Amino acid sequence: MIKFEHVSKKYDDKVVLNDLSFTVDAGETLAIVGFSGTGKSTALKIISGLVEPDLGSVHLDSRNMSMVFQYSALFDSLNIYENVAFAFHERDDLKNKYTESQIMQIVSEKLRLVGLQNIEDLMPSELSGGMQKRVSFARAIVTNPKIILYDEPTAGLDPVSSTVIEDYIIRLKEELKAASIVVTHQMSTIKRTADRVIMLYEGKIVWQGTPAELLEAKDPYAHQFVYAKREGPMKTTAEAR
Amino acid sequence: MDKEFFRETLSYKIITFLKDQIAEKVDLTVYIFKILVKVIKDILNLRVGMKHILNQAARFGVDSLPLALIIVGVSGMIIALQVTSEMVKQGAVDYIGTLISLVIVREIAPIMGSFAIISMVGSSMAAEIATMKVTEQVDAISVSGVDPVTYLITPRVVAGFFIMPSVIVVATFVGLFGGYFPVHNIADIGLSSYLDSVWLGLYEKDIWVELLKAAVFGTLISLVCASIGYKARGGAIDVGVATTNAVVYSFIVIVITDFLISYAFFY
């Protein structure tokens, strides 16, 4: 479970998160949506411990967490096997827990789960963007995490690759029963993967509900987002300047 | 009026620039010092893997050796060229090798070797880690439950400490032999006489201080370059800026440290 309580964060003078609170239960997927620069990725970074909040707190029921990054963030000096097995080789509590042959078995099983086989010896630069994204999924789930954070998992992918990635998010939710957060702009990803949606604007929740409610919502914020209208209560970062 | 205004504006700009530069360097030094404390903790807690140290040591040695040998070798030749004719004029032929060995062992090999290593290894270290930082690879290490400083910086610092003395010792031999050729051509001194003169001027202390300098410089180059790379944020431009800063800051740190060590041991 993830409990995000009254969190505020400022970068210089810009308020990115403003007394933001939400909860994600085990087995639930929350989509955080909103225009660019509204604090979605900052919320993920605070949950993952990469950024400290100025105010408020985050409670997690497990430290076994992983994150799928927008641009995959594979380690480009390591091959695919070393990338996926990274936590087993480097994390103090996992280093001596498994033999190398067990790790090899786990890695190939996770790669198979994301539809990849016999690519262990390749380097990340030898893979397409979609394949890199799938490897990053395999790396994220290799330790069977209890919390999974997805930062724009389908950004920059073609529609078919996006559907494949969404299928993995759904499958992982069922298999791992993890508490998941998906930060995305894609309506199809929201519709297919999320149980609940919160919409952020200027660091605050301006709308929340289910994906079905989002599509039907008359609320001006939700309406503007769903129909991608320039006119409405929300200004993009460029317009706000 | 315009001139006065310009002067005021210019002086204001210069003062502001200097203040910013000093504040930036102080911040950076504090940041590097914090990383050093973390590295020392990792070493004391044996949290650094031998495999990573050996990988980094291999890269450090292999990448830096050719350039270090060329620079120190040619520097030896230049010094010999400059001092030999003067020494011949002064009738101090027997001391040519002594003077050359003193300069090369005490200063040229550690300093010029360090500059070569900063250019080859330090810059690539800073660029690699900065790229990892701006492409979220460092964040991915953190989220995996692995400390990025322990994984990225500590092995590089330990490798720098252990491998740099070997690079500098080899470079010293090349520098001394490089110095022989001008000496032979200008003063017509044979190899055995030259070597006798070289050994005559060397004290055990010179060797130990050279090794100490090499180990300290190796540690500092890795620490400074890796830390500045690790501090990078932004995009491609920031990787370039971090790399340049790492090289410049390393040069300054090495020169100051060299002065302090030389002062402590030779004066």
| Residue from A176, A177, A192, A168 nearest A115 by CA | A168
Please name the residue of chain A whose CA is at the shortest distance from the CA of residue B140.
A73
B179's tokens: 């110095």
Query: What separation in angstroms does the CA of B3 have from each of A76, B7, B8, B16, B156?
Result: 55, 6, 8, 19, 53
Q: Give residue B104's identity as a one-letter amino acid code.
A: I
* Confidence at residue A20, expressed as pLDDT on a 0 to 100 scale: 92
Q: Give the span between the Cα atoms of A92 and A99, in whole angstroms.
A: 15
Q: State mean pLDDT over B133-152.
A: 95
A6's tokens: 């009254």
Tell me: pLDDT of B119 over 70.
yes
Q: State mean pLDDT over A93-103.
A: 91
DSSP-assigned beta bridge partners for residue A209: A197
Query: Is there a contact between A93 and B145 if contact means CB atoms under 8 Å apart?
Result: yes
Do the Cβ atoms of B135 and B239 come closer than 8 Å? no
Tell me: pLDDT of A99 over 90.
yes
pLDDT tens profile B144-183: 999 999 999 999 999 999 999 999 999 999 999 999 999 9
* Confidence at residue A162, expressed as pLDDT on a 0 to 100 scale: 86
Q: Give the span between the Cα atoms of B76 and B169, in whole angstroms.
A: 14
Tell me: pLDDT of B142 over 70.
yes
Tell me: pLDDT of B27 over 60.
yes
Tell me: pLDDT of A239 over 90.
no
Q: State mean pLDDT over B115-130.
A: 96
Query: Is there a contact between B144 and A90 if contact means CB atoms under 8 Å apart?
Result: yes
Angle between helices A129-141 and A100-113 (to 10 degrees): 130
pLDDT tens profile B60-86: 988 899 999 999 999 999 999 999 988
Q: State mean pLDDT over B31-52.
A: 94
A113 band by pLDDT with thresholds 50, 70 and 90: confident
* Confidence at residue B6, expressed as pLDDT on a 0 to 100 scale: 65
User: H or E stretch including A176?
Assistant: helix A159-176
Q: What is the DSSP letter of A152?
A: S
Asked if A97 is an interface residue toward chain B (Cβ–Cβ < 8 A), one would say no
Q: State mean pLDDT over B114-141.
A: 96
B7 band by pLDDT with thresholds 50, 70 and 90: low
Tell me the nearest-neighbour CA distance from A195 into chain B, angstroms: 24
B93 band by pLDDT with thresholds 50, 70 and 90: confident
Tell me the nearest-neighbour CA distance from B130 into chain A, angstroms: 13
Q: State mean pLDDT over A33-59.
A: 91
Instruction: Please return the burial class of A240, using the count of CB atoms within 10 Å of its CB with bins 0-12, 13-18 and 19+.
Output: exposed
Q: Give the span between the Cα atoms of A100 and B154, in whole angstroms.
A: 24
* Confidence at residue B129, expressed as pLDDT on a 0 to 100 scale: 97
Q: State mean pLDDT over B13-25.
A: 88
| Residue from B196, B139, B160, B183 nearest B48 by CA | B160
| Residue from B93, B96, B62 nearest B76 by CA | B96
Query: Is there a contact between A75 and B140 if contact means CB atoms under 8 Å apart?
Result: yes
User: What is the CA B119 to chain-centroid distance, rounded?
Assistant: 9
Tell me the nearest-neighbour CA distance from B166 into chain A, angstroms: 26
The three-class DSSP label of residue A203 is coil
pLDDT tens profile A68-91: 998 899 999 999 999 999 999 999
Q: Which residue has the higher pLDDT, A137 or A239?
A: A137
List CB contacts of B171: < 8 A, sequence separation 6 or more: B68, B69, B71, B72, B73, B109, B112, B113, B116
Tell me: pLDDT of B45 over 90.
yes
Give the ranges where chain B is alpha helix by DSSP (H): 2-44, 50-90, 96-103, 109-117, 123-134, 137-143, 148, 154-187, 191-201, 204-231, 236-266
Which chain A residues contact residue B132 at CB under 8 A? 75
Do the Cβ atoms of A68 and A150 come closer than 8 Å? yes
How large a percentage of chain A has pLDDT more than 90? 55
Enumerate the domain spans of chain A: 1-64+146-163+178-241, 76-143
**DSSP letters spanning B131-147:** HHHHTTHHHHHHHTT--
Give the ranges where B188-235 is alpha helix by DSSP (H): 191-201, 204-231
pLDDT tens profile B188-239: 899 999 999 999 888 999 999 999 999 999 999 999 999 999 999 989 999 9
Nearest-CB residue to B143 (from A65, A70, A90): A65
Query: Is there a contact between A50 and B139 if contact means CB atoms under 8 Å apart?
Result: yes
Q: State mean pLDDT over A15-19.
A: 90
Asked if B142 is an interface residue toward chain A (Cβ–Cβ < 8 A), one would say yes
The sign of the torsion formed by the CA atoms of B32, B38, B44, B50 equals: negative
* Confidence at residue A238, expressed as pLDDT on a 0 to 100 scale: 55
Asked if B137 is an interface residue toward chain A (Cβ–Cβ < 8 A), one would say yes
Tell me: pLDDT of B4 over 70.
no
Q: State mean pLDDT over B9-31.
A: 88
ipTM of the complex: 0.89
Mean model confidence pLDDT for chain A:
89
With vertex at residue A238, the alpha carbon angle to CA A234 and CA A240, rounded to the nearest 5 degrees, is: 50
pLDDT tens profile A145-194: 999 999 998 887 788 888 888 998 898 888 888 999 999 988 889 999 99
Measure CA of the first residue to CA of the last residue in chain B; give whole Å.
53
* Confidence at residue B241, expressed as pLDDT on a 0 to 100 scale: 95
Asked if B192 is an interface residue toward chain A (Cβ–Cβ < 8 A), one would say no
Q: State mean pLDDT over B7-23.
A: 83
How large a percentage of chain B has pLDDT more than 70? 97
Do the Cβ atoms of A231 and A66 come closer than 8 Å? no
Asked if A66 is an interface residue toward chain B (Cβ–Cβ < 8 A), one would say yes
DSSP-assigned beta bridge partners for residue A58: A4
Tell me: pLDDT of B8 over 90.
no
Nearest-CB residue to A87 (from B135, B137, B145): B145
Query: Is there a contact between A90 and B143 if contact means CB atoms under 8 Å apart?
Result: no
Q: Give the span between the Cα atoms of B41 and B44, in whole angstroms.
A: 5
Enumerate the domain spans of chain B: 49-266
The three-class DSSP label of residue B32 is helix
Nearest-CB residue to B137 (from A65, A70, A73): A73
B91's tokens: 């009738």
A240 band by pLDDT with thresholds 50, 70 and 90: low
* Confidence at residue A34, expressed as pLDDT on a 0 to 100 scale: 87
Please name the residue of chain B whose CA is at the shortest distance from the CA of residue A65.
B143
Nearest-CB residue to A66 (from B47, B143, B146): B143
Report, in this order, helix, strand and coil percent for chain A, each rounded to 5.
35, 25, 40
| Residue from A167, A164, A162, A169 nearest A68 by CA | A169
Task: Please name the residue that has the structure tokens 């995996």.
Answer: B144
Hey, what CATH topology would domain A1-64+146-163+178-241 get?
Rossmann fold (3.40.50)
